[in-house]
Structures are given as structure tokens and as C-alpha cells.
Chains A and B, each alone.
Chain A
Amino acid sequence: MTVGKDVSSLFTDVVNCMQTENLELKKLVYLYLINYAKSQPDLAILAVNTFVKDSQDPNPLIRALAVRTMGCIRVDKITEYLCDPLQRCLKDDDPYVRKTAAICVAKLYDINAELVEDRGFLESLKDLISDNNPMVVANAVAALAEIQENSSRPIFEITSHTLSKLLTALNECTEWGQVFILDALSKYKAADAREAENIVERVTPRLQHANCAVVLSAVKMILQQMELITSTDVVRNLCKKMAPPLVTLLSAEPEIQYVALRNINLIVQRRPTILAHEIKVFFCKYNDPIYVKMEKLEIMIKLASDRNIDQVLLEFKEYATEVDVDFVRKAVRAIGRCAIKLERAAERCISVLLELIKIKVNYVVQEAIIVIKDIFRRYPNTYESIIATLCESLDTLDEPEAKASMIWIIGEYAERIDNADELLESFLEGFPEEPPQVQLQLLTATVKLFLKKPTEGPQQMIQVVLNNATVETDNPDLRDRAYIYWRLLSTDPEAAKDVVLAEKPVITDDSNQLDPSLLDELLANIATLSSVYHKPPDAFVTRVKTTVQRTEDDDYPDGSESAESSAHVGDVITSPQASSSSVPAAARQADPAPAPAPVPDLLGDLMGLDNNAIVPVDQPSEPAGPPLPVLLPASTGQGLQISAQLIRRDGQIFYSLLFENNSPVALDGFMIQFNKNSFGLAAAGPLQVPQMQPGTSAGTLLPMVLFQNLSTGPPNALLQVAVKNSQQPVWYFNDKISLLAFFTEDGKMERANFLETWRSLPDSNEVSKDFPGAVVSNVETILDRMAASNLFFIAKRKHANQDVFYFSAKIPRGIPFLIELTLVVGVPGVKCAIKTPSPEMAPLFFEALETILKS
């Protein structure tokens, strides 16, 4: 059984042994039942009697064992009989039975939530919070926390009363119980600074615990309460208290160290002072596993300051001569990042880099050149004297990023490099074979050279390059850029100078690269997986809702291969932008894995929404309603026409695509990739399009996930898509993101809540817009249409001759929109005012609204 052999045929024989007095044997029989009851549901009923009898056995171990096992058997007939024994066991005299029963309520909730609520188990569970046995309390808390997570109703809310009870229980609990309780309490918001201080005071002793999980959960709790504490003395004191335990985590096993380091990385971004004096403990040990070393480097950069930079540089220099190539590269890059971060240390950093270049180890040189390019951008006109040294290494460069960086340097400083034209010319020969990144840099550098030294040589070069980059290439980015230069140069060379040689904005240190709102979210999730991946929980939590039937394991196809190759398309799209080292290292570290297999129930709860039914993705269903907008006309796509639109169905966002093959060949191997965008939209699975014979069309619904590849900057509607198939080049096209697909089903607010939210938001968060052309001739239809798009009607009132309507809506991450529509039925002109915590979303919202009003 345990080695994977199917022994379910012995079911009846095994059940016969169940009534044994021998506890060892009984346990084995129960283990067998857990494994096979599901495959033999009819026979499982044979066991019920014994279970019920055992649940009243004088021996508490047997009572607990019976309830524990019954809860693990997901067979309706067994579940029916579980309720009465469970009720008894929740009130049992023996704490071992009670604690087992507490967990069993969570099991039952997982099987049948209604039953738990109807039979009043939740109330019994809440009573157990006041139990005198700490084990029971801990399990009750764990069970309630899980039930709450899977329910939309408030079941387990921590009041100041439960808080003090749990804090008391904390002291007596086992280490694991302490973690359950601390994690549950971390959701509690203290009323004021004084309460926060009280909580912290009672949690602080946990920092001395030998169990790392307890320490980290306590740290999380303290950090959270610290946000409320106003007294700087108290905060400083707390920081002092937290530092030693945090450092001690680094003495644990490397696996724990890794988790600790990922968390510390977040903590120092918010509170750099905590570990400001501890930089030495982050120095790498030679026997640290590579994943620990990489994280330590990251933190060393974050803690580097003018005071310790000499020490830090000495370390980096040492690492840069180690054996592990990845580690060496990262160390070299770290030196560059310190130079960019600390102006006063830049010169020392550069001299270290130059020393490293002199060792002439190929990958060190390349990495150094990449960072030096960034240093030039950070401190223009300061360190150009070293260019000559860099040029010596020109021949050894073979990596695209290093090559592109070197070419950029030559172009940027063409006037100071005597033989700049010769140097560039040496690259031109291989132009068609270069990767796009290098081609783009070569193009720009040649134009710069020409503008700076408009002599004959450069003029010839520019013609070669422009020809290569327009006629000979398939790459639209390169072609577009080349055409722009060409036209600029041919119409107005002076204007070209202004554009091409314009002063560049100075770049800044990117070592604190996390977006503040993301950092907030991650800090709230310290001591969870989220803080290790540096991703918000909704980006990777895929736990299936209890209502969804589980499929057998054979139904999980291996989607990883196609996901990998579609990621390759993404490289092509992003590489031109990613020429500087702007990709956050943290994002790279965290494996971009959560591209779940294209099975409906796996995708079920990606966004944490309620979805009652799920559209099967592998069944291409023709989208109903108006035809999809054409995004790639057949004329551009060599006969392939693509129409697409984001839609929302059953609580999930899909990209509805229609492919029409007007080309003479059959097309197959379709893949899709989305560029970074304001909502981080990305495909949740591979694109499923069958082979398309000429003249046929195929539609598909591609499930989408959010917050996967976020672009920075203010939100905009641009969605860049690349589609590829095995027969044609990659097609790029733009789509517009419509918020209509984002309004979630849970956006309805109660009136009181609406009013309160409206009042609590400052007036600066109110944005309004007129739609002079829009006419509402029938109120009912517009309300229906709004409701269909998850804009929920709240109330209506009359103001003079106008009707004022109020709606509420919500987009993922729980951002609410409060909407006020003012209009006169049948008269053109609708005024809309909205209030939202994210007013920057307003333009997108109005666009969505306009679609509804005009449709």
C-alpha cells in the first residue's frame, strides 16, 4: 500500500479485522481505510458501525482515533455518521480527544461546509478557544483560521477579548501551537498605539524561542503592530530587540537560513536600521549553499553604506574570484550596484572593477562592462577616463548583454574615442547574426557616431546599418527604430541631434526595487511563502475550493514543456527593453512557475474569487455576443487573422481569441505571450489551438491570471501580445485592456458600508467626467447592463429633475469603486463621479463605463 501497490481487493478482509482489541492492528486497519475507502464506497459502510462504537470506547486514544479516521474518509455515507460522534468528542473529558475533534471539524468543513454550519460545529469550535488545555486551543484556532479562509462570511474574527485569551494561551502552548496562534493574531488590528504596545510586550518573549517558525511569526506580529506605535523610543527599542534573533536565524540549517534571508530582505527595505550594524553576519561562508550566498549578496547591497563600504568591497572582490560562475557574476554586479547606490564610494567601486577586468577572466570582464555602463549613466562625465581600458577587452565579448553595453559605451562617447568608427565597424560585419539586443544598440551607436563625426566613414557605415535594419530584418522593433532614425536624418539632422543625443535622465539605485504597495503586501505576509517568493499570495495560491470535485491524477497533463517554450517568445518581446539591468533580481530568483496546467479545477481559485462553474478551456467555445475586434488583420499576418478581447466569465478573466487561417498552409504550434502590463495579465496556461487547415477558423478561451508580469508607471490600457506558430514569424499586436473584465462578483456593498467608505475617502480621490453624447432612454436596461458587468446598484435619488444612481464595484486586490451617475432619462449627457482609493484608475474606469453606456 505505502509503496504504491494497489491492495484494495482485500477490503472486506481488512475491515473484518477492525474490531480487534490490538491497538497497533487497529491503527493499521484505519490507515488502510483512509487509503481505500474512496475506491470502495459501498463496502466502506461496513466500517461505520465499528467507527461509531470506537468513538464511545472507554479508551480516549481509541475515541480520538475513530473520529480522526472518519474525518479523513471522504465518503458521504461515512460523513453522515460522523456528526454525532464528533459532537460528543468536542465535549469529551480527555483533551487528546477534544484536540483531535477540533481538527476534525475542519476536515468536515472541507467535505461539507453546510453540514458544519447547520449542526452548530462552529459554535462548539469557538467554545474550545476558551478550553483549559493549550493543545486544544491551538487546534481550534488552526481549524477556525482554515475555515475562515475558505468562507466568505465572517466566522472567526478576533476581538480584543479573544485576543487577550489567546495571548494568555500563547505562553503555555507547544511551539507549533504558538505559531498557529501568532499567525491567527497577526490579522488583528490594534485599536491604538497603546494596545499595540501591549500586544508587542506580550509577544516579544517569543523571540527567544529555539523554533525558527515561532521567532519569525513573532517578528511578523511585532512589525505589524509597530506600524501603529508612534513613540520613536519604543520603536527603536523594538528594533534593537529584534536584531539578535533575526541574526540567530542565520545559524540554523541552510534551508531555514534561506527563508530567513528572503524575509530579512523585505524587512530591511522597510526598516534598514534594524540590521545596519550587522552586515558582517551576511558575509558569505565558503560552504554556504549557492542559494544562501545569492540572498546574502542581495542583503549586503541593501545594507552597504558609506561606513562599511570598504569592508563590503573587500568581500565582493574576494567573491569575484571564486569558482561558481553565477555567484561570481552576481558579485561583480553587486559592486556596480554599490557604486550606483553610494556616490562617495563610486570611485573605489570602479577601481575594484578595473582590477577584476585585469584578471581577464572572460565572464568577469563581461559582467563588469555591463555594470560600468550603468555607472556611466548614473554619473555622467565622471569616469570616462577608463574607457580605454574597457576597449582592450572588446574582442573577448561574446554575451549579448555585455556586447550591447560595450557598443552603447562606444556610441555614447564616440567623440572621445579616437577609433570609435573602427571599433564599431568591426561589429557591423556580423550585424544580421547578432541578437536583437545587440542590433538595436549597434543601430543607435552608429547613428550617434555619425551625428558626432559626420565624416565619410561613418556615413558609409550608417547606410549599411540602416539597410540591414530596415530591409533585411524581420524584427519590428529594429525596423521601426531604423525608420525613425532614417527619416529624422533625412529631414532634419539638427532635430536628429536633439533627439538622439539628448541628455538622458540619470538612473538611480535599483537595490530597493520592490514597488511600495507590493512591499506593504509582502510585509503583511512575513513568515509565509509569499515572503519567500516575494509575490503576493494570490499570484501562486491555487488551493482548490472545497466544492470543486477533484479529478484523478491521470487527468493532469504535463503542461510545463509548452509553458517553457512560450516563455521563450516572451524573451523576444522584452529583451529590447531589458537591456539595462532593470529586471529585479528578486523576481528572477522566484521561479516564474505558477503557470498551472490547463485543467479547469486547477485554475479554479487563482484569483480568490467565487466561481460556481468553470468553463472548460480545452473545449473551444464560440464566444457569444458581438464579434471580437480584429487585432491582427489577415493582410498583416500573412493570411492569419486574429481577433481577441478580454472577457469575464464565471468569475474568471479569459482572453477570448478567434484565429482565422486565410493563408495557403496549415498552421499549428500556436503559442501566446503577453508583455508586461499595468495589471500583470498573463496566460494561466498554454494556448490551446488545434492545427488549422487553410480556410478554417478556431476560437479559444485562454484563462488569464493577474499580477504576474507587472509593468511600472501609472496604469494604462495597453496590452501587447505576441502570438507565434510553427510556420510563421512571431506576430505582435496591441490590445486595449478594458476594466469590464476586471469587475469582480463580490463588488456589491451594503448601503451603510458604501456611505462610510464614501465619507472615509478624501475628496482628492474623487474624479468625475461628463459623457455629453450618452443617452439613457431606459433606466432598467442600463441597470441590467451595469449588473451584468458586476457594477452593483446601491441606491437612487432625485435631485431637481435629475436622477442620481449609486453603484459599487470592485477590482482584484479588493480596490473598490464607488460610482455616482447623474442623468435625465432620454436627454443626452451623463455625468459620472467616482471615488476610489486608486484614482489613477479613473481614466480606465470611464472608458469601461462609456462602453456600457453606448452599447
Chain B
Amino acid sequence: MISQFFVLSQRGDNIVFRDYRGEVQKGSTETFFRKVKFWKEDGQEEAQAPPVFNVDGVNYFHVKVAGLLFVATTRVNVSPSLVLELLQRIARVIKDYLGVLSEDSLRKNFVLVYELLDEVIDFGYVQTTSTEVLKSYIFNEPIAVDAARLPPLGPAAIFMQGSKRMPGTAVTKSVIANEPAGRKREEIFVDIIEKISVTFSSSGYILTSEIDGTIQMKSYLSGNPEIRVALNEELNIGRGGRSLYDYRSSSGSGAVTLDDCNFHESVRLDSFDMDRTLTLVPPDGEFPVMNYRMTQEFRPPFRVNALIEEAGNLKAEVIIKVRAEFSSSITANTIVVQMPLPKYTSRATFELEPGAVGQAADFREVSKKLEWSLKKIVGGSENTLRAKLTFSQESHGNITKESGPVSMTFTIPMYNASGLQVKYLQIAKKSSSYNPYRWVRYVTQANSYVARL
């Protein structure tokens, strides 16, 4: 069980503080913040504080959500995964209620937040983190903050970046608050969010590839109707004892093989083994219906080639090529390519392709990194960056070893790498005129997308 829960801003200001057991002294917030800010171990230079540590007999847990530090303390030997998971959930519940999670919204709604905290935790024991269950105990109403001024949060936020696919306010509105008109809009969002990790060897082979996916749901349907989600029929779970090294044999047939998956507790799997459908009554709030993991080979959306070569005395040339290997009807956005350069690089000049729009390249002096950002890349296209480097000293003879690897971040809406699909989304409701909005959205993001030199 936990002793205290608190939320700190990035500057260490106390935004929310609730003591459940009075076992830990009040100064814990400062002790914690000082420790996290100046984490040191074994005399190493600044390191990042691990999520769990002990100072003077008090155990501190923390997670960072939306730039805020969610912290819990305890004196006993609790389950750390429980506490960390709880912190994430509290953040999610608060976001469900407030619509946006930010210092501003927390301060404006502190009465509601404390009311929530009292129902979520009693005497340090978690009671519930289900927005649905909480609804019957919570009486305060959220005070809306201006969402437009705030940076969007979470993976789903990318849908709001100017694209006209859906109403922008939907994902930042509270599950509790009614529309100003007094009538709720009937809609349900299902997001298939995939984070992909790929490591290319220097010769362009794929060394490792992995997809971490989530089917996320957020329902604004009244009356909590039952929902059926159908996935690919040819969906296999478990690699069936085959070793990691020969999974190639399974690809190509259109079948999707997941290594492992797990489900939200509201999901009923009665017919999952039969026809790969999930049945559930979605609780209020945003929640993951299903998490999955896949190492089956897939076609990476980008091929990255990078080359660094010496070009005379104290000079070198870098060429980075990025080829988009997806259909031309799809566009990736907010692409950033980074490459660490040798420590003794003093200057870099760039040469973008003629006619390149929305591209910028920069040399970060302090971290000695080359950074190339592209607003968008259309499927099938290829982009190249050339850079000329100047060194302040002679290299030790192997500049390839002293630079790289090239890493890449990107977001591709309406694309998914695994091939997992929501075939249909069925909402059970008697009336024939009832036809709520259904949004099924796919998005793929880079997790660790790396090409070695």
C-alpha cells in the first residue's frame, strides 16, 4: 500500500498532495525532487533516476505523464509494478475527467481531483481506477480549460494535427461533461496504435524488428451498448514453439502472428478462438482493449542508408537516404532523422535536394548531432541529405565507428505495419435509427528505428 500520492510540476511545484497514512514526513516532496533532479550513482555524472528508489527508508515511485511527475511513497515492501501501474492509471482517470491533463487543468479542478483521489485510494489501498465505476461516487463537475492552447497529448493526439478527418475536440473533452447543447454526441473511437522498432545492420539487413501495438477505445455512447470488434480471421497467437530465428517462414501468406497479447478486463473472449471477435461493454474513459506484441517479419515503412566518408584533410561527407516503402496514398509526417557525428566535428554545411519543401537540417553543436527534419514524406518517394563536415582535429582513422547510428522518428497515420485490422465494429442497439459515429483509426509510430553505420 502507499503512504502518499503527489503530483509535481517539472519545476518541482506541488500541484496535488494527498497523505493517506501519515507515515512519511511532509518534506518528502522536496526530498524526492532533489533526488530526481540531481540523481547520481557511483560518482557517475548525471544519470536518469530509476522509477523506484529509496531515500532514508522511504521508497519513492514516479512516472512522468504529460510533463508532470506522478509520485507515490511507501515504507513497506509493496509490489512496485502495482504502484507504477496505479500512477499511470490515476493519470488516465484524471485525464478522462478533466479532458486534458496539465498543470493548469489540475489546479483549476483540484476539488474534483481530490474527490477522485479519495475514491481511487483508501488508506493506501487501490479501490478502483475504472472511470465507469467512479462515476457513481463522484459529484463534482470538471471545469474546462482551453484545450486549443495546450499541446496535444498521447498517441491519439496526432489525429488532431490539422487533418480534417474528425472533430478536433472529441479526444480532449471530458467523458463526464455534456456538450454545451446539452446533448451528447454519440460516437466511439477505436485507435490501432503501433510502435515499431527496427534495427538495420550496416549492410541494410534487418537485425531486429518488433511491433508493440494497442487497440485503444474511447466511447461516448450513451447507455453502454455491447460492442463487437472483429479482427483478422487469420490471426495466430504465439509463435508455436518455433524459434525466433526462423520466423521468416510464416510471412507472406497474409496471416498475422502475434507473439503475445493481453486484454482489458471488460473484454469477453468467448468467441475469440472461433472467429477472432472481441465482445465488450466499453466502460467510460479511454482504455486499451488489447495490447499485442509481434516479432513476425514485416515490411519496414522506411529504408535508411547512411554513409560517412573522409573527403580530404579534416573533412568528411555524409549522405543519408530515406526511402518510403509504403503506398503513395499515405503520407508520413513529423519525420526527424538524427545522426551523432564524431566528437571533433566543428562545422557542418548541408545540401538539400532541389525543390525540397518543408525540410530543414541542422548541426547541434553541443550534442554533436546532425538533425534533419521533414514535415512529410509521401509514400514511394526518396529523400536525400548531403552534409559536408569540418573537423577540428585529425580522426583516428575510423570515422564510421565514431559516428552514428542513425535514428529516426516519424508518425504515419492510416498505416499499420503488422497487418492487424479491425474488420468491423458492431454496436448492439435495438433502434434502427441509431447510428452513432464510429471512428476506426490506424497510426504507426517509430519507437526505436535505427540504422547502423
Contacts and interface: CB of A to CB of B under 8 A. Distances in A.
Interface of A: 2-4, 23-24, 27-28, 31, 61, 68, 71-72, 74, 96, 99-100, 103-104, 106-107, 110, 135, 139, 142, 146, 149, 174-176, 179-180, 183, 208-213, 215-217, 240, 244-245, 247-248, 251, 253-256, 258-260, 277-278, 280-281, 283, 285-291, 314, 318, 321, 323, 325-326, 358-361, 525, 527-530, 532-533, 537, 540-544, 550, 553, 556, 559-560, 588-589, 591, 593-597, 602
A251 B295 CA distance: 12
B262 A248 contact: yes
A256 B89 CA distance: 13
A588 B405 contact: no
B448 A287 contact: yes
B80 A528 contact: yes
A68 B125 CA distance: 13
A285 B42 contact: no
A23 B453 CA distance: 64
23 contacts: A2-B114, A24-B111, A135-B128, A142-B125, A149-B76, A174-B128, A174-B130, A176-B126, A176-B129, A210-B265, A213-B86, A256-B81, A277-B243, A281-B210, A287-B448, A321-B401, A326-B47, A358-B398, A528-B79, A529-B54, A540-B77, A589-B50, A593-B56
A248 B130 contact: no
B48 A544 contact: no
Contacts of B14: 3-4
A179 B79 contact: yes
User: Which 4 pairs show the lowest CB-CB distances between chains A and B?
Assistant: A285-B448, A542-B57, A255-B51, A244-B260
Contacts of B86: 176, 213
Interface string B400-440: 01101101000000000000000000000000000000000
Interface residues of B, number: 93
B291 A525 contact: no
B25 A553 contact: yes
A280 B244 contact: yes
Interface in B31-58: 41-42, 44-45, 47-58
A227 B291 CA distance: 31
Interface stretch (B16-24, B319-327, B384-392): B16-24
Given A280-B295, A285-B450, A596-B56, 6 more contacts: A24-B115, A99-B127, A176-B126, A183-B79, A208-B261, A529-B52
A23 B84 CA distance: 31
A278 B244 CA distance: 7
A216 B81 contact: yes
B349 interface: no
Given A176-B128, A283-B199, A146 B1 contact: yes
Given A2-B17, A216-B79, A286-B450, A595 B259 contact: no
A178 to B, nearest CB: 9
B140 to A, nearest CB: 6
Contacts of B11: none
A321 B402 contact: yes
B41 A591 contact: yes
Nearest to A23: B139
A543 B75 contact: yes
Interface in B56-114: 56-59, 61-63, 75-82, 84-86, 88, 110-111, 114
A542 B75 contact: yes
B380 interface: no
Nearest to A536: B77
A528 B125 contact: no
B57 A540 contact: yes
Nearest to B43: A571
A588 B41 contact: yes
Contacts of B27: 553, 556
* Most-contacted residue by chain A among B26, B50, B140, B291 (CB, 10 A): B50
B129 A258 contact: no
A260 B405 CA distance: 27
A41 B26 CA distance: 20
A23 B367 CA distance: 55
Interface of B: 1, 14, 16-17, 21-23, 25-27, 41-42, 44-45, 47-59, 61-63, 75-82, 84-86, 88, 110-111, 114-115, 118, 122-123, 125-130, 137, 139-140, 197, 199, 207-208, 210, 212, 238, 241, 243-244, 259-265, 288, 290-291, 293, 295, 340, 367, 396, 398, 401-402, 404-405, 407, 447-448, 450, 452
A287 B446 CA distance: 10
Nearest to B115: A27
Nearest to A597: B56
B56 A559 contact: yes
A675 B238 CA distance: 51
B18 to A, nearest CB: 8
A59 to B, nearest CB: 11
Contacts of B452: 318
A528 B197 contact: no
A259 B81 CA distance: 7
Contacts of A560: 55-56
Nearest to B129: A176
Quick one: which of B54, B241, B260 has the most chain A CB within 10 A? B54
B205 to A, nearest CB: 11
A289 B63 CA distance: 13
A541 B77 contact: yes
B424 to A, nearest CB: 23
B326 to A, nearest CB: 22
B16 to A, nearest CB: 7
Given A248-B293, A593-B53, A595-B56, A139 B137 contact: no
B244 A277 contact: yes
Contacts of B261: 208, 248
B82 to A, nearest CB: 4
Contacts of B295: 280-281
A669 B139 CA distance: 58
Contacts of A248: 259-262, 291, 293
Given A248-B291, A258-B52, A542-B75, A176 B82 contact: yes
Nearest to B449: A286
A251 B291 contact: yes
A142 B47 CA distance: 37
A679 B247 CA distance: 51
A556 B25 CA distance: 8
Contacts of B407: 286-287
A580 to B, nearest CB: 17
B340 A323 contact: yes
Nearest to A571: B43
Contacts of A591: 41, 53-55
B59 A212 contact: no
Contacts of A527: 79-81
A326 B44 contact: yes
A134 to B, nearest CB: 12
A595 B82 CA distance: 26
B259 A244 contact: yes
A289 B293 contact: no
Contacts of A278: 244
A208 B452 CA distance: 35
A708 to B, nearest CB: 13
